[in-house]
Structure formats: C-alpha cells, structure tokens
Structure 1
Amino acid sequence: MNPEATSAYCISNRLVAKAVRAVLWLTMVAGLAVYALSGVYVVKPEQQALVTRFGQLRHLTMPDGARSTRIILPGTHYCMPWPIDKVYYIKPNEVKSVLISQAALYAGEAEIEGEIPEDEPEGEQYAETPRLGAEFLTGDENIIHIALHVQYRISDPAKYVFRCANQAKLVRDASEMALADTLARTHVDEVLTTGKQVVLNRVKTLSQERLESLAAGVDIISVNFASVSPPADVSDAFKDVASALEDRDRIINEAEGDQQEAFHRARGKAQQQISEATADRDSKINRAKGETDRFLAVLAEYQQSGRSETSLTRLYLEAIEEVLPRTQKYIIDTASREGAR
C-alpha cells in the first residue's frame, strides 16, 4: 500500500473519530441541559402546587422547629427533574360538586384537578355506572326519591392529594350516608314540606364530620335538594297530602291573621273607652271641685253676713233654679181642690 495513502486514511479516521466524539459530547451536554431544564414548571394563577422528593412530600421547617407543608404559589418555579421530584397541581379556591341521583352518570361531573402529577393530562375524570342510591327509607317507613347536590372545596391540599385516590367519590359516599342516616330519623311529610332545611343542615354537618374523620382535606360548602319526590305509584296520594297540609297551614295562617286583627281592634277600642272614661272622670272631678269651691265661697259670705234670712232665701232660690229645670214638675191648684170638697 502507498505510504501516502495510508497516512491520509489514518488522518481521515482520526478526524471522523474526533467528529463523532464531539457530536456525542454535544448530544450528552444537550441531553443533560434538557433534563435539567425539565425541572422548570409553571403554576397558573388559579393553582397551587405540592412537590414530592422520592415520593415524600416536601415540608418547610419553621423557626420554632415546627414543620408545615410547603405549598408552591403561582409563578415559575424549579424542582429537581423526574424521577427525583414530582409536582402535583391543585385549585384550592375552585368549588367542586357531586350529585347523588338515581339516573345520573358521573362521568365528567367531578373533575379531580390538582391531584394529577405534571406528566399526566390535567382534568382527569372518572366514570361509573348509574347508582341506585337515590331511593331512601324515611323514619315512618316510606320510600322517597331524592337527588342531592353537594358543593365542596379543598381545605388541606396535602390531605386532599395524598390521603384519598378519588375525593369526589368519597364526598358523594359520605353525603349519601349522612342523607340516609338523617332520613331514617325524619318523617316523610317533613321531608316533603316544612323540614327540608333541617334535613339539609344535618346532612351537611354529618358529611363534614365524616370527611374530617377520614382526613380528606375537604370542606362542604353547601348541600341542596335537586329534587324530592315520592315513588310514582303513590305520587298522587302524596300530592293530595301535601295539598291538604298546605290548605291547613293557609287556614291556620288566615285564622291567626284574623285573630291578630280582632285582638288589635278590641285593644284599640278598649284603649278608646279607657281614654273616654278617664276624660269623663277628670271632667266630673273638676266640676265637683268647682262646685265645692263655689259653695265654700257662698258659705264664707253667708257666715260673714251674720247668717241673715236674705242670704238663706238667696241660697234657696239658686238651688231651686238649678234643680227644677232637671225635674218633671206637676202644678196642683189647691184652691179648686178645696172647693170641690
């Protein structure tokens, strides 16, 4: 072989080897850079985030030595790349809801946003077959159909994400248990008429207590009836009963209104009569005082005049003038009576 050709071949091989090593080096550096940059993540304004390192939730150590969950606020942040760190997104201010209904499909109803890691699509949902949990037995052994709407939100992000795999199902089951327990202590007429709010308040309280005992990290905001109805076979009878109860309440309210009106009218009339009697009493007292004062004045004058016959005659005539106009008078001719005899 020609020495010059051999030398050129060796030089060419060395250049190729250098180029390959350079490409491999650059590829490795680029891969490391991409891997390092994969730790950059963005928390949206309506979100917060939790970070785990090797599967353990990261905490903050306070100056007094206490530890608290490290909650990542909205913005751009960095963590160690996967699989060292993993990010979980949550929406703490979002109001979530579940529906307890016989014919409801729960697909898409309760989104489990915030409990999905960054490498899974946000908005994961779950679907179930229809449940028959909308038929409940009341305390007086009547069947009633109820659809219940429950709203809740996150109270403790760490518990919400890591203590339960399906929070919406847990909230629904806890609310359904609370509703069944409450209805078992309640008369069907109360559920259909005046006791609805009492039932809802008790269901909310029992549901919250159950969720707190399970450390679900959830606060129940509101519980409302979507529908309340008796079974179709006896629906007309229940409607008649409800209508009768409404008529009873209406009649009672009207009677109470009439009672109040009559009471206030009688009270007003009594007050008027009391006022008139008081005025008449005061008038007579004043008149009696005036007559007394006048009599005392005349008496004093009579005593000063030496009790003369003229004063007595004048007093007698004034008394006669005052008395005679108020009496019925009979005039008798005594002379004619004596002649008739």
Structure 2
Amino acid sequence: MAWNEPGNKGNDPWGNRGGNDQGPPDLDQVFRKLTSRFGGNRGGGGINAAAVGIAVILLALVWGLSGFYKIEEAERGVVLRFGQYYEQVGPGLGWKATFIDEVIPVNVNNIRELPASGMMLTMDENVVAVQMKVQYRITDPRAYLFNVTNPDESLNEAMDSALRYVVGHTTMDDILTTGREQVRQDTRVELEGIIEPYGLGLTVVDVNLLPARPPEEVKDAFDDAISAQEDEERFVREAEAYARAVEPEARGRVQRMEQEATAYRERVTLEAQGEVTRFVQLLPQYLAAPEVTRERLYLETMEKVFGNTSKVMVDTEGNGSMFYLPLDKIIERSGSKSAPKVGASQMSESDSQPSGTFNTNRGANNRGGSIRQGRN
C-alpha cells in the first residue's frame, strides 16, 4: 500500500505517523539538529564557538600563506601600504600583509628600447626621413612608477623633441654622410637635458641613429651627390697616400744635397787653406831663388794642364808628312808607365807623363823639338 493511500497510517517517510503534519520538515529545524550534534544548542540556536575558532584559524592560515612573494635577482620590489609608497625591497623571498600591502616588481637590469622616426626639416630647409632608437634602463623604481603617469611615453615625446631640435640645427649633407656621429651625440645630450627635470627614474644607455634618407622624389639626385662625395674622399685619400710615399724620398734627396754641399764647402775650404799654407812655405824659397822657383812653378802648372788633355806625338819627315801616335792609347795597351820612343825623336823628362799633347819636329834641339798642346 502506498504511503499516501487512505487508511495508511505510520508509513509517511517524513515522519508524519499521526497524520497531523501536512509537509516536509523546516530547514531551520534540520540546521538546529546538525549544530546540536557538535556540542549542543546554546541560547536557542547560536553557532558553536569551536567551529568559529577553527574557521578563523583556517582563514588566518590562508591569509598568512597568501602574503609570501618572491623578487627576482634583476628586479626591485616597491611596497605600497594602503596604496601609498612604503619601502623598496631587494631580491629574495618576502612577506606582505595581504589586502594591506602590495608589492610591485620592477626590472632594473633589463635594457629597453624605444624607437622614434619622422620627416624632419633641416637647417638648410630640406626634408629628411630620420629614424632613431634609444636604449634605456630603469634606475629608480619609485620615480619610474609614481613621478609621471607614463614614463615610457614621456621618454618617447622627449626623444622626438630632442631629435627634431638637433636635425633642425644640422645640414642635410651632415645628416646623410659625415655628420651622423655628431647628430647622435647631440641628440643624446639634448634628450638627457629634457628628461632630467621630470625625474622619470630612467637612465639613457645609448642612442642609435639609423640611416637617414631623403624623400623618394629626390632620392636619385641625393644618391648622385653622395657618390660624388665618396669619390672626392677617395681621391683625397689617394693623394694623401701619394704624398706620404713621395715626401720621404724628397726629404732624403734634400738631405743628401745638403750633405754634399756641406762636404764640398769643407773640401774647398781645406784646399784653400792648404794652398795658403803652401804659398806661405814657398815664399822663403822664392825669395832665395826667384828664377828657379818660377821655373818649377811653370813646370808644375804645365804638368797639371797636360795631365787633363790627350797627348799626340808628331814626327815630321823631310817631305812634310806627319805621323800621329796617340800616346794614351799606346800606354793603356802596353801597360807601360814610360812613354814609347818614335824614330829618332826623344821626349824630355818633364814630357814623359801619360797625359798632355806633344808636337816634336825632326831636327829640333835636344829638348825634344817644339812642343805644342793639341786635342783630338
């Protein structure tokens, strides 16, 4: 028989044995029965104190464990207490009060990069496309987080301003060719001067100027101009190399000529001094025997004169024919130091040198006939 059929008594699954209850038990009653099993009912339905204590301990444990944090070696932690700056912590494991403190890690070793580019007007009123990248690092985490709203965007605007200022004070040729390094250095100095008053907590590591280019409409003309400048620089370097190669040779020739001139001057000076000394020594002899001294000087002079000319001996026959003998050639062939004899002609003792020119007539006196100088 079903529990709800007429005449069924005491089979109600909800415990209605007398038939007086019209529905399921109240949830409040079920809850009271459950709490009574943990220690009884106090004050008509209050929660057990032991259960509350256990719950509080569990919550405190969870709260305490949730406060542990870790800061990496390359980071620094900025601690906020109730939303305001409290302190800065270093790398390692730490603990914070959850819901009270907040720790923001900031990487201070990572080098960040920020690009900037645009069409800019140069000092000579030309337009050039310039691209630049700045590398920076966070050095003050507190200033980086709280001094400005967006430090990266502020740095980007400052770099654009510095780059436009430097490009506006530089000619286009310098930006495209030889003045790129100066533009880079000036831009870095200007950028550091702009961001210093704001206290961004950043340090500029390097500024890289990428290859600039003119507008596409005039690119071909500027390429030709750059090629011409490169050719000019190449010719200048070649000329400098040639100058470095020729200059030492010229200096060597100059030094050699100076040394030769100095040696010639010393030689002439010494010869002149020697002649003076010889004449001084000759003066007493001339005073003692003037004729003999004059004759000796004459013979010595003629010896020097004939020593620098070719000598030819002439033997005149009775019929007027002449016979020439080149004495210097004969002496070279024979190797003899004495002069050869020709016919009945004789050379005098002073005419026996291998130089000079002699003309001896047949039938002349015993000094070798008439002597005359001749040249081939």
Task: Tell me if TM exceeds 0.5.
Answer: yes
The answer to whether 1:220 aligns with 2:199 is no
Q: Report the counterpart of residue 325 of structure 1 in structure 2.
A: 307
* Aligned with 2:134 (options 118, 131, 150): 150
Higher percent of residues as helix: 1
The answer to whether 1:72 aligns with 2:89 is yes
- d(CA) in 2 for partners of 1:329, 1:17: 166
Q: Report the counterpart of residue 98 of structure 2 in structure 1.
A: 82
- d(CA) in 2 for partners of 1:53, 1:247: 67
* Aligned with 2:263 (options 263, 274, 279): 279
Letter in 1 for 2:102: K
Q: Report the counterpart of residue 55 of structure 2 in structure 1.
A: 27
Mapping 1:15-164, distance limit 5 Å: 15=39, 20-58=48-86, 71-79=88-96, 81-101=97-117, 134-164=118-148
- d(CA) in 2 for partners of 1:242, 1:10: 94
Letter in 1 for 2:135: Q
Give CA-to-partner distance per residue, 1:20-56, whole Å, 9 cap, x none.
5333312211222332343332111111222232333
* Aligned with 2:252 (options 268, 273, 277): 268
Q: Report the counterpart of residue 6 of structure 1 in structure 2.
A: none
Q: Report the counterpart of residue 124 of structure 1 in structure 2.
A: none
Could you say what secondary structure the match of 1:147 adopts? Answer: strand
* Aligned with 2:222 (options 238, 250, 255): 238
Change (3 A) 1:299 1:82: farther
Equivalent pairs: percent with the same residue?
30
Change (3 A) 1:287 1:57: farther
Report how far residue 290 of structure 1 moved. 4.4
Could you say what secondary structure the match of 1:228 adopts? Answer: coil
- d(CA) in 2 for partners of 1:141, 1:98: 28
Give CA-to-partner distance per residue, 1:34-79, whole Å, 9 cap, x none.
3234333211111122223233333xxxxxxxxxxx5422112233
Report how far residue 205 of structure 1 moved. 0.8
- d(CA) in 1 for partners of 2:132, 2:274: 82
* Aligned with 2:233 (options 249, 259, 278): 249
Letter in 2 for 1:100: A
Change (3 A) 1:317 1:223: same
**Root-mean-square deviation (Å):** 3.5
Could you say what secondary structure the match of 1:151 adopts? Answer: strand
Give the length in aligned residue pairs: 282
Could you say what secondary structure the match of 1:213 adopts? Answer: coil
Structure 1 residue runs without a partner (length 5+)? 1-8, 59-69, 102-133
Q: What is the TM-score normalised by the length of structure 1? A: 0.70
Report how far residue 260 of structure 1 moved. 4.5
Q: Report the counterpart of residue 161 of structure 2 in structure 1.
A: 177
- d(CA) in 1 for partners of 2:280, 2:83: 114
Contact 2:111 2:135 (8 Å CA) reproduced = yes
Q: Report the counterpart of residue 63 of structure 1 in structure 2.
A: none
Q: Report the counterpart of residue 120 of structure 1 in structure 2.
A: none
- d(CA) in 2 for partners of 1:161, 1:17: 56
- d(CA) in 2 for partners of 1:263, 1:11: 113
Change (3 A) 1:294 1:24: farther
- d(CA) in 1 for partners of 2:80, 2:98: 10
Report how far residue 230 of structure 1 moved. 1.4
Change (3 A) 1:317 1:168: same
Give CA-to-partner distance per residue, 1:274-312, whole Å, 9 cap, x none.
122222223333444445555555567x49xx8246972
Letter in 1 for 2:64: A
Q: Report the counterpart of residue 288 of structure 2 in structure 1.
A: 307
Q: What is the TM-score normalised by the length of structure 2? A: 0.64
- d(CA) in 1 for partners of 2:292, 2:50: 155
Give CA-to-partner distance per residue, 1:114-152, whole Å, 9 cap, x none.
xxxxxxxxxxxxxxxxxxxx2212222222112211101
Work out which structure has the larger RCO, using CA pairs closer than 8 Å and 6 or more positions apart in sequence: 1
Change (3 A) 1:86 1:311: farther
- d(CA) in 1 for partners of 2:34, 2:55: 25
Change (3 A) 1:269 1:10: closer
Contact 2:81 2:102 (8 Å CA) reproduced = yes
Change (3 A) 1:74 1:294: farther
Letter in 2 for 1:76: L
Letter in 1 for 2:110: E
